[in-house]
Structure 1
Amino acid sequence: MGQMVAHQGELLRINPSKNCIEYSKNDGRSWHSRSSKSTIFEFQDLMENGSELLATTSRGVYYSKNKGASWHKR
């Protein structure tokens, strides 16, 4: 797992200073927030898993089916 993954034509990464998911559609030249800052958990790692993203967090494993816009406990 890592802090940046390729998923459905985008790069997604964890921004640790904002504790949010960011995306890039231009190979990382610019980044935009996809999820708001999480106050529930701290993102640690990301993994692409077919149609979903998996995130290891300070509160366990979460998944997203909408490119990291919302997260649900696995």
Structure 2
Amino acid sequence: MGQMIIHQKELIRINTTKNSIEYSITDGRSWHHRFTATTMMGTLLDLADCGKELLLSTSKGLYYSTTKGASWHKRS
């Protein structure tokens, strides 16, 4: 896991300052906001590309996304 991954031709990263997910389609030259974590999710820690879904490790659990990180669901 890491704080930046390549998924479906996009760079996707955790912005630790804003506790958010950002993406780039310009190889990191510019970044765009995709998602801001809620307090219920805690601090965003790590990302992983698992093919059809992304995994996000947070201080309050594990989440998955099938929308390139636009929405997240808690994995139980």
Give the shorter-chain TM-score range: over 0.9
Q: Deviations over 1:38-58 (max 9, x none)?
A: 322211000000011001001
Structure 1, unpaired ranges of 5+: none
Runs of 4+ in 1 over 3 A off after TM superposition: none
- How much is the aligned-residue C-alpha RMSD, in angstroms? 0.9
Instruction: Please name the residue that 1:55 is paired with.
Output: 56
* Structure 1 residues 12-27: aligned runs within 5 Å: 12-27=12-27
TM-score after normalising by structure 1: 0.95
Gaps of 5+ in 2: none
Per-residue deviation at 1:62?
0.3
Q: Which amino acid aligns with 1:70?
A: S
Aligned residue identity for 1:27: D
Contact kept in structure 2, 1:20 and 1:38, CA below 8 Å? no
Question: Within 2, Cα distance between the matches of 1:20 and 1:38?
Answer: 9
Number of residues of Structure 1 aligned to a counterpart in Structure 2: 74
